[in-house]
A and B are shown apart, each in its own frame.
Chain A
Amino acid sequence: MIKNSVAGTLESNDVMIEIMAHDQGRLIELDSPVKDMFENDILKVINDVLDEFKIDDIRVVIKDQGALDYALAARLRTALKRGML
């Protein structure tokens, strides 16, 4: 069971990640100034963390400001821990 939760900020080098319940697979919405260059890397990090938490159905809304992989993973983990009941 996932409840709506947020983690992270909109500062440079950070990312704000919001998670919501969604019952048809993983819906990942990515907004990033470096989408052209790193979309695949960002999605991989998100999916790896979701695998870690064994989540198959969720909506993840990502507002990226150029966060590195470690920050993306950390922010998602925080949102998940806050949102999982």
Chain B
Amino acid sequence: MNKYAGIKDYVFHDYHFNNQKGHDLSKKQILLSELEKKITFKDGMVFSFHHHMRNGDGVANIIFDIIKKLDLKDITIVASSIFPIHLPMVELIKNKNITKIYSAYISGPVAECISAGYLKDGVHMHSHGSRARILLEKEIIIDVAFVASPCVDQKSHINGSQGKSSCGVLGYAIADALVAKQVVAITDNIVDRVDDIEIDGHNVDYVIEIDQIGDPKGIVSGTTQITRDPLGLLIADYAAKVIEGSGLLKDGFSFQTGAGGISLAVADELMKIMQEKDIKGSFASGGITGYLVKMLEAGLFERLEDVQCFDLEAVNSIVRNENHHKMSASIYANPYDAHNIVKDLDVVILGATEIDLNYNVNVTTGSNGVIMGGSGGHSDTAAGAKLAIIVSKLVSSRISVVKDQVTTITTPGDSIDVLVTEYGVAINPKHQDLINKLKKETNLKLRTMAELYDIAISLTNKPQKIKLSDEKVGIIEYRDGTLLDYLYKVTK
């Protein structure tokens, strides 16, 4: 079901080569203070960094220090995600040091700054899979890739799952390391030999050792607990019934879920059913949490395909369990990559800020148009999975998740199959078979999206339309590079 042309086998980034010679660390290691002499930083350059350190990142800010110190202008930042810890970017954006940004997810002060219109050449938002495509297809050339590296060895090989700042896997840094003109590895842990090579030393140009590349507490902060909210549990119960009723829950089942409270509750329900019915799944993928590790260890899946570790359990598992695999963003979700794990997914559980009558989903902006997220893997997994299920409360604190039209399209409606809420389940009309099957075989409250919308409006009243300005501050591209939507300036 790959409708994308030019499927490639990017074999050169296959993880599991262990006989690569790399290059001697002694030829690459420099001090941070020497970097400006080694690399001729110029206006207009493109810098990249990955977000595996999450909100505990101590490396990205080094980039911003350099930009500020040298007063570089018209810099483009290609960051797999941007978090509140990247606050120093705001000043640089306002002063036009940074004028363009590529990212799959942006939250915090940088997001607000972009929505307020300060980023001169706008933001280019994409999915995780798209980022790999953009880099590997050289749609943008990275001048310097800054790679926060939990472990570097004497041959300059990089590994993400060793050391005090271990983040488990460096899935979002692989493409950068392969295509950037110069790769700077910043580490706090140099060893003789890494346990496994994620980035081969011959890709690395410079290695810099600092005290700490990140705050471990911030690094493994991605997961929440299973929700205790009775409505959240109800939604999880309904979602599990949809999955069971779909007929997809059998041996070989493949699954992905988010790290949020309701998503974890769905995983919990599925675990119970799979144990009861002795079902052995094939793989679980994506950002991996301790919950999925539990399912792997319970024998419910043969393997985990991990692009990002959300918590310490995932980090520990990836080290000790040979069935817990690391994967790059390209292998995960690049539609041009022959592997493109998401195409083999049976079910994915996703969230939404907004969903509309055409099943289009917004996870990029709030209803006021301000950026507060981004696709991440959302549009990738929705496109790939046989059943893409959105779990969300319909109404909470007077806000309805169903709108007549989303403020911003992150994921187009034809890749969204089901919405599960506390008021019932809406199934995309293109799945008449599934609708009939669930009607016949379950007690689920099946509704149309329009009915859910009406229920929401009857509770909250119709919200006043928030008028967005006409001034564009960025674009959202779909996985194949086509334009999906614009982002508009929001003034207070």
Closest to A33 in B: B397
A41 touches B396 (CB 8 A): no
Distance between Cα atoms of A41 and B462 in the complex (Å): 9
* A60 CB to nearest B CB, Å: 19
Distance between Cα atoms of A78 and B464 in the complex (Å): 28
* B489 CB to nearest A CB, Å: 16
B466 touches A66 (CB 8 A): no
B396 touches A34 (CB 8 A): no
Contacts of B461 in A (CB 8 A): 38, 41, 69
Contacts of B396 in A (CB 8 A): 12-13, 66
A66 touches B397 (CB 8 A): yes
Q: Does B72 contact A (CB under 8 A)?
A: no
Distance between Cα atoms of A12 and B393 in the complex (Å): 14
Distance between Cα atoms of A69 and B462 in the complex (Å): 12
Chain B 386-411 against A: per-residue CB contact (8 Å), 1 yes, 0 no? 00000000001111000000000000
Distance between Cα atoms of A12 and B368 in the complex (Å): 20
* A75 CB to nearest B CB, Å: 14
Q: Does A65 contact B (CB under 8 A)?
A: yes
A36 touches B459 (CB 8 A): no
Distance between Cα atoms of A40 and B464 in the complex (Å): 8
* A33 CB to nearest B CB, Å: 7
Chain A 45-70 against B: per-residue CB contact (8 Å), 1 yes, 0 no? 00000000000000000000111110
Q: Does B247 contact A (CB under 8 A)?
A: no
* A74 CB to nearest B CB, Å: 15
Chain B positions 440-462 with a Cβ under 8 Å from a chain A Cβ: 459-461
Most buried by A among B367, B398, B464, B466: B398
A36 touches B367 (CB 8 A): yes
A39 touches B464 (CB 8 A): yes
B459 touches A68 (CB 8 A): yes
Q: Does B230 contact A (CB under 8 A)?
A: no
Distance between Cα atoms of A37 and B460 in the complex (Å): 10
* A83 CB to nearest B CB, Å: 25
Chain B 454-479 against A: per-residue CB contact (8 Å), 1 yes, 0 no? 00000111011010000000000000
Distance between Cα atoms of A40 and B399 in the complex (Å): 15
Contacts of B463 in A (CB 8 A): 34, 37-38
Chain A positions 10-56 with a Cβ under 8 Å from a chain B Cβ: 12-13, 33-34, 36-41
Q: 18 interchain pairs (CB within 8 A)?
A: A12-B397, A13-B396, A33-B397, A34-B463, A36-B368, A36-B464, A36-B466, A37-B367, A37-B463, A37-B464, A38-B398, A38-B464, A39-B464, A41-B461, A65-B397, A66-B396, A66-B399, A68-B459
Could you list 17 further interchain pairs (A-B, Cβ under 8 angstroms) beyond the known A37-B463, A68-B460? A12-B396, A12-B397, A13-B396, A13-B398, A34-B397, A36-B368, A36-B464, A37-B464, A38-B398, A38-B460, A38-B464, A39-B464, A65-B397, A66-B397, A66-B398, A66-B399, A67-B398
**Chain A interface residues (CB < 8 Å from chain B):** 12-13, 33-34, 36-41, 65-69
